[in-house]
Amino acid sequence: MALLDIQNLRTYYYTGRGPVKAVEGVSFHVEKGEALGLAGESGCGKTTVALSLLRILPSGGKIVGGKIFFHNRDIVKISQNQMREDVRWKQMSYIFQGAMNAMNPVYKVGDQIIEAIRTHEPKVYTKEAKKRAGKLLELVGIDSSRVDNYPHEFSGGMKQRALIAMALACNPSLVIADEPGTALDVIVQAQFLKLLNELRHKLKLAIIMITHDLSMIAETCQTLAIMYAGNLVEYGDIVNLFKKPLHPYTQDLIESFPSIKAAKQDMVSIPGSPPDLLQPPSGCRFHPRCKYAMDICKKKTPRLIEIAKNHSVACHLVETQARK
């Protein structure tokens, strides 16, 4: 069985106006040492999938269906105490969004790593935790003497590295990086991706990289999952998806990224805007924006079906063409 196997996950946010169906029927898996990119426009449910995995949804958020098998057990069913004691940080951790301000400015960097260690491993003494914090900083290329520095004494790249060190504090097998490129310049981003790749090989880490930036995923991941309005619309081997995207939304998403090799051209954008998930469109949620929409698209939700080896798509048009 895969390290992580998500089956038909459904997560809603309950509001005064009704449930926001943020994640609806998402399924994918991640193997040990594999990097998966989770992409889509803002508000498509990527971060909600991550928060569901760690079971740290904000108030009103609830997993209403599906299974999350991690290390062969369904972590949807276990208690919050078990999540804290066995899963969070020890097996699965999170690199928070926004490296520049994700750390508490009034605590030393080392103390924040020590806190992560001692929260999840209370039997570890502070002295031992400090030694580990220094080693973790070394692992991400920062001198261990910097444990006593405050976040403002670190550059943006060093802060991002320190966040990785914090995520690795208790030797997890899966790390979720949420929009790790935010507010970093391209050179620091490239260094970050290189480091993440090295750590993946060295520690056999599985990684879920959440971003709307497909170029970051192309640099790092072996598998790509595209989400639209809470649904998984295309999923599979990254080379297949980039070479031959089949879902109209994936095609538009890839086209809307400028190519540094192609001739200069006007930016392409996807017409319309993502739907209100309080009242998502019927059938295929992309149909109001899809240039290929047919009658059936408005009535019936397309199933995610395997079109080729390691390549699955949820689209009536692709399904019909595959049957011919």
**Residues in contact with ligand SF4 by the rule CB under 6 A:** 247-248, 284, 286-287, 290, 292-294, 297, 302, 315-317
Token pair belonging to 72? 């062969």
What is the closest distance, in whole angstroms, from the C-beta atom of residue 268 to ligand SF4 in the complex?
17
What is the closest distance, in whole angstroms, from the C-beta atom of residue 292 to ligand SF4 in the complex?
4
What is the closest distance, in whole angstroms, from the C-beta atom of residue 283 to ligand SF4 in the complex?
7
- Residue whose CB is less far from ligand SF4, 154 or 249: 249
Cα 72 to Cα 256: distance, rounded to the nearest angstrom: 39
- Residue whose CB is less far from ligand SF4, 19 or 281: 281
What is the closest distance, in whole angstroms, from the C-beta atom of residue 270 to ligand SF4 in the complex?
12
What is the closest distance, in whole angstroms, from the C-beta atom of residue 18 to ligand SF4 in the complex?
24
What is the closest distance, in whole angstroms, from the C-beta atom of residue 294 to ligand SF4 in the complex?
6
**143 near 2, Cβ under 8 Å?**
no
What is the closest distance, in whole angstroms, from the C-beta atom of residue 286 to ligand SF4 in the complex?
5
- Residue whose CB is less far from ligand SF4, 149 or 301: 301
225 has which bridge partners? 38, 235
- Residue whose CB is less far from ligand SF4, 43 or 248: 248
What is the closest distance, in whole angstroms, from the C-beta atom of residue 224 to ligand SF4 in the complex?
17
- Residue whose CB is less far from ligand SF4, 89 or 249: 249
In this structure, is the dihedral angle defined by the CA atoms of residues 308, 231, 57 and 69, taken in order, positive or negative?
A: negative
What is the closest distance, in whole angstroms, from the C-beta atom of residue 245 to ligand SF4 in the complex?
12
Task: Give the β-pairing of 18-30 and 35-39.
Answer: unpaired
**Residues listed for the chain:** 324
- Residue whose CB is less far from ligand SF4, 98 or 281: 281
- Residue whose CB is less far from ligand SF4, 2 or 293: 293
- Residue whose CB is less far from ligand SF4, 161 or 285: 285
Which residue has 């899809």 as its token pair?
Answer: 290
- Residue whose CB is less far from ligand SF4, 16 or 271: 271
**3-state secondary structure labels for all residues of the chain:** CCCEEEEEEEEEEEECCEEEEEEEEEEEEECCCCEEEEECCCCCCHHHHHHHHHCCCCCCEEEEEEEEEECCEECCCCCHHHHHHHHECCCEEEECCCHHHCCCCCCCHHHHHHHHHHHHCCCCCHHHHHHHHHHHHHHCCCCHHHHHCCHHHCCHHHHHHHHHHHHCCCCCCEEEEECCCCCCCHHHHHHHHHHHHHHHHHHCCEEEEEECCHHHHHHHCCEEEEEECCEEEEEEEHHHHHHCCCCHHHHHHHHCCCCCCCCCCCCCCCCCCCCCCCCCCCCCCCHHHCCCCCHHHHHCCCCCEEEECCEEECCHHHHHHHHC
Phi, psi for residue 23 in degrees, rounded to 5: -135, 125
